[in-house]
Amino acid sequence: MNLILLFEEDFTDGLRKVRLSGRRLRHIREVHCAKVGDTLCAGLEGGPIGSGKVTFLDEEVLEMDIALSRRPPEPLPLTLVLALPRPKVLRRVLFSVTALGVKRIVLVNSYRVEKSFWESPVLHRDNIRKQLILGLEQSRDTILPEVLLRERFRPFVEDELPELARETLRIVAHPHAAEECPRGSDRPVILAIGPEGGFISYEIEKLASAGFSAVSLGDRVLPVETAVPFLISRCC
């Protein structure tokens, strides 16, 4: 936890003092080994970042004086459209793309997504939020990404994607594509990444009709959780 993410309900005196318990208290005691007088990096969800000075600490509660003045880091100009991966992978991908600064993530169905993945508790709002918060704490950010769940591929691509993709560079990562993945786009990017079995031809064609170019990283076929950060850092 490189930043203690604070929520309005943590504050006891305007935006000047907080009282924390639970996970953040345990982490600050056990990992930061903080003492009264120490200063930690803190930030308000959706707002500025700054510091928290520990004024009281015991096993039950931590109190800090808070001073927030800086803006959080710039968001990454990229929308991720990701075929729903298996729950364990999804958890890690939500964490890592949040840490990278992605602010919109669309989890979409695809022919080769196992139906049972849509039933996973990882998709419950609170569990998604937990991973996003861990990603923000990791990267010293405060702005939660928006996560959209789209269980039907075709209506999503036909009805919603054109608006989401407006004025962006549109790419779909596909190991067998002839075109090489671009490097360092000077425009915002919308990037589609397939499921473990890859997108089927019909899906690549639908995405192409929404203006997406299929691009490859070369002969190495990467697992989804490796492909995601590689592709994002390559094209942004």
Rounded Cα distance between 138 and 39, Å, is: 17
Question: Cβ contacts of residue 180 below 8 Å, gap of 6+?
Answer: 215, 216, 218
Question: Cβ contacts of residue 159 below 8 Å, gap of 6+?
Answer: none
Does 147 sit near ligand SAM (CB under 6 A)? no
Among 4, 94, 224, 235, binds ligand SAM (CB under 6 A): 224
Q: Output 156 or 199, the one with its CB closest to ligand SAM.
A: 199
Dihedral angle of Cα 121, 126, 128, 131, to the nearest 10 degrees:
-110
Minimum gap (Å) between residue 120 Cβ and ligand SAM: 18
Q: Count of CB atoms within 10 A of residue 44's CB?
A: 20
Minimum gap (Å) between residue 218 Cβ and ligand SAM: 6
* Stretch near ligand SAM under the rule CB under 6 A, chosen from 13-21, 69-77, 124-132, 171-179: 171-179
36, two tokens: 């009264």
* Stretch near ligand SAM under the rule CB under 6 A, chosen from 24-32, 40-48, 99-107, 197-205: 197-205
Rounded Cα distance between 217 and 25, Å, is: 43
Minimum gap (Å) between residue 228 Cβ and ligand SAM: 8
Among 211, 216, 225, 234, binds ligand SAM (CB under 6 A): 216
Does 174 sit near ligand SAM (CB under 6 A)? yes
Strands 169-173, 213-216: pairing is parallel
Does 72 sit near ligand SAM (CB under 6 A)? no
Does 220 sit near ligand SAM (CB under 6 A)? yes
Q: Count of CB atoms within 10 A of residue 52's CB?
A: 26
Among 14, 22, 121, 218, binds ligand SAM (CB under 6 A): 218
Confirm if 43 and 81 have CB atoms less than 8 A apart. no
* Stretch near ligand SAM under the rule CB under 6 A, chosen from 67-75, 130-138, 154-162, 193-201: 193-201
Question: Cβ contacts of residue 156 below 8 Å, gap of 6+?
Answer: 106, 108, 109, 150
Does 173 sit near ligand SAM (CB under 6 A)? yes
Does 197 sit near ligand SAM (CB under 6 A)? yes
Does 199 sit near ligand SAM (CB under 6 A)? yes
* Interface contacts to ligand SAM, rule CB under 6 A: 173-175, 193-194, 196-199, 216-218, 220-224, 227
